[in-house]
Structure 1
Amino acid sequence: MINIKTINFMRLRKPFYVLALIVMIGSIASLAVKQLNFGLDFTGGALVELNYSEPADLDAVRATLRAGGWDDAIVQNFGASTDVIIRLSSDDPELGSEIARVVTQQGGADVVVKRVEFIGPQVGEELRDQGGLGMLLAIAGILVYVGLRFQLKFAVAAVAALLHDVIFVLGFFSLLGLTFDLTVLAAVLAVIGYSLNDTIVVFDRVRENLRLMRNSDVEHVINVSTTQTLARTLATSISTLLVLVSLYWFGGESMRGFALALIVGIGVGTYSSIYVSNGLLINLRLTREDLIPTQLEEVDDRP
């Protein structure tokens, strides 16, 4: 059996606490001041998708829209270089059809309108509220699940790490002014699941080693458990990041926000599952006695 040297991860938990605190404060400040740059999914507006027979000249499309008075229109390739998507915030249901008419007149027979959609502001507000509620319910469900499977101290540590990861990703998008749409929201929910999976793997090993290593303190047990799962954590994170980087560069504009949110979330989630959640177990004074199931007193019903 190969003898693996134990890495003293918890020696650096206090510097990482400071880093986590700075990240949290900075993210919350950005969310309070700049807020999120919500996409059309949440704000409402017009969306037009066009198909060109040859690679589209995006600058020419933008010039056409500026000439029509739509200076704030977002023009991007959508997958292939011949597919173009136009987004514009508005409360006019007919705006998409008008934009499609103007652009097709300019482009001639080489342009085909694939779809014209309008998302009303009310629908956008409902999507935003339901998305936020879904995220809160997911975190609440995780708190209950970890509390039942492990113990309340494990649940508090896991949820604190998850909140740290979510707030960091939201703050990252807020600080850079990146568009936050439904695909990014889906990525944030995926980050919650990914980070929880990493944390659960380490917690499982911590619980197992607490029962086996009876002469070791909790900090040493956590260091041993984290070292034993480190190879699995790095292999999973690196292989996932390789896929996401490929998706970011080659997946087209529609997948870029989704991939970027996951890249950031997995990066921050890897260190939070090692230092934030594990470190909190020490601060919460986890003991072996916490893992002993509560014995219910038997009631004698005999007369």
Structure 2
Amino acid sequence: MVTFLKQHIRRIRYVTGFISLGLMVLSVAMLAGRGLNMGLDFTGGMVTEVTVDPQLTSDQLLEVLKPQLGEFTSVTHSDQQGRWVIRYSNAQAGQTMPNITDVLAPISHQVNIVSNSMVGAQVGQDLVDDGGMALLISVLCILGYLCFRFEWRLATGSLLALMHDVVLVLGFFAMTQMEFNLTVFAAILAILGYSLNDSIIVSDRIRELLVAKQKLPTAEINDQAIIATFSRTMVTSGTTLITISALWIMGGAALEGFATAMFIGVLTGTWSSISIGTVLPEWLKLEPKHYLPVELDATP
């Protein structure tokens, strides 16, 4: 694998770089054309807590609830056996929502409504504002850190790699119309941190090689940096994907969106640090002289 990588790494970097740019354009088009399917956390809706027969599972509940309450109905286990929290959208104009007790009666001998409340539009707007502010602060902090840590050409590549990972995840959710809720938004923030860490590892190696091997062209230095960090990247990404896969398989509907976003983010974060994170600095003419001490003119 390492031998193949040494022989074809530059071609892989350039090809994946163009693929990444194409996917970014497609994702932006999806976001503009279809938009995100915002969940109840952002749009508002109904939240009903019920107690039913203890042996019932979430899949059995969703099987009867979704046809009546809508495709994006979610069920979360509460703190007691047989107690569940049901989240679903408000009724559309001219429609009447069915009674939860009547809907669950065919599969449960006892159905007791513990509480029934509505998450209003104002709460949803507050969540959108707070979430957007959190994302903005995170991006600004990352931007400041990159500008302090690296020369601007190398920092630009890392920043574009971060944008690439987030845009691709959002584009996937826009294309599939999967529900975008607070757990998915949390995954977006986690992806920013993960992708930043991966980009910094590669960029640090590039910076070291630029100083140590000043006679080599930048393209060759980038190739060597990726090969030097490849094993570490595969181990880190592989173990992370195993953990995310476990969440995906065993977490159920409550963690499906989070696991999906994280899985895509880890994959895109791995290849963006190899492609965009190294190709863009080359296009911006990054050279060893940009990391060498500036010689001061001692002439009086």
Give me the TM-score of the superposition, normalised by structure 2.
0.84
How far does residue 150 in structure 1 lie from its aligned partner after superposition?
A: 1.4
Tell whether 2:138 aligns with 1:171: no
1:31 corresponds to: 31
- CA distance change for structure 1 residues 4 and 28 in 2, over 3 Å: closer, same or farther? closer
- CA distance change for structure 1 residues 88 and 212 in 2, over 3 Å: closer, same or farther? same
How far does residue 25 in structure 1 lie from its aligned partner after superposition?
A: 1.4
Give me the whole-angstrom Cα distance separating, in 2, the residues matched to 1:150 and 1:111.
Answer: 61
- CA distance change for structure 1 residues 4 and 291 in 2, over 3 Å: closer, same or farther? farther
How far does residue 102 in structure 1 lie from its aligned partner after superposition?
A: 5.1
- CA distance change for structure 1 residues 5 and 62 in 2, over 3 Å: closer, same or farther? closer
Please say if residues 27 and 168 of structure 1, whose CA atoms lie closer than 8 Å, have aligned partners that are also in contact.
yes
| CA-to-aligned-CA distance 1:59-87 (integer Å, 9 cap, x gap) | 67438x83xxx5x3644443599564422
Give me the whole-angstrom Cα distance separating, in 2, the residues matched to 1:201 and 1:219.
Answer: 17
Give me the whole-angstrom Cα distance separating, in 1, the residues matched to 2:91 and 2:188.
Answer: 28
Report matched runs for 1:57-68 at 5 Å: 57-58=60-61, 61-62=64-65, 66=68
- CA distance change for structure 1 residues 76 and 137 in 2, over 3 Å: closer, same or farther? closer
Code of the aligned partner of 1:169: V
2:95 corresponds to: none
Code of the aligned partner of 2:30: S
How far does residue 114 in structure 1 lie from its aligned partner after superposition?
A: 5.9
- CA distance change for structure 1 residues 150 and 28 in 2, over 3 Å: closer, same or farther? same
Give me the whole-angstrom Cα distance separating, in 2, the residues matched to 1:224 and 1:211.
Answer: 13
Code of the aligned partner of 1:78: T
- CA distance change for structure 1 residues 61 and 154 in 2, over 3 Å: closer, same or farther? same
Which deviates more, 53-62 or 179-188?
Answer: 53-62
Q: Secondary structure at the match of 2:275?
A: helix
How far does residue 135 in structure 1 lie from its aligned partner after superposition?
A: 1.6
How far does residue 244 in structure 1 lie from its aligned partner after superposition?
A: 0.5
Q: Secondary structure at the match of 2:56?
A: coil
| CA-to-aligned-CA distance 1:83-142 (integer Å, 9 cap, x gap) | 6442222399xxxxx955656777776345565443211111121132123223212221
How far does residue 284 in structure 1 lie from its aligned partner after superposition?
A: 1.0
Q: Secondary structure at the match of 1:110?
A: coil
Code of the aligned partner of 1:47: V
| CA-to-aligned-CA distance 1:204-237 (integer Å, 9 cap, x gap) | 1111111111221111111111101000000010
- CA distance change for structure 1 residues 31 and 4 in 2, over 3 Å: closer, same or farther? closer
How far does residue 8 in structure 1 lie from its aligned partner after superposition?
A: 4.4
Tell whether 2:51 aligns with 1:53: no
- CA distance change for structure 1 residues 117 and 221 in 2, over 3 Å: closer, same or farther? farther
Please say if residues 42 and 127 of structure 2, whose CA atoms lie closer than 8 Å, have aligned partners that are also in contact.
yes
Give me the whole-angstrom Cα distance separating, in 2, the residues matched to 1:178 and 1:73.
Answer: 10
Give me the whole-angstrom Cα distance separating, in 2, the residues matched to 1:166 and 1:125.
Answer: 22
| CA-to-aligned-CA distance 1:17-56 (integer Å, 9 cap, x gap) | 3211221111111111110000001001112243432215
1:276 corresponds to: 276
Please say if residues 101 and 112 of structure 2, whose CA atoms lie closer than 8 Å, have aligned partners that are also in contact.
no
Please say if residues 77 and 85 of structure 2, whose CA atoms lie closer than 8 Å, have aligned partners that are also in contact.
no
Q: Which runs of 5+ in 2 are unaligned?
A: 93-97
Q: Secondary structure at the match of 2:144?
A: helix
2:145 corresponds to: 145
Code of the aligned partner of 2:42: F
1:110 corresponds to: 110
RMSD: 3.2
- State the aligned residue count: 287
1:78 corresponds to: 76
Code of the aligned partner of 1:124: G
Please say if residues 73 and 86 of structure 1, whose CA atoms lie closer than 8 Å, have aligned partners that are also in contact.
no
How far does residue 262 in structure 1 lie from its aligned partner after superposition?
A: 0.2
Please say if residues 65 and 104 of structure 2, whose CA atoms lie closer than 8 Å, have aligned partners that are also in contact.
no
1:233 corresponds to: 233
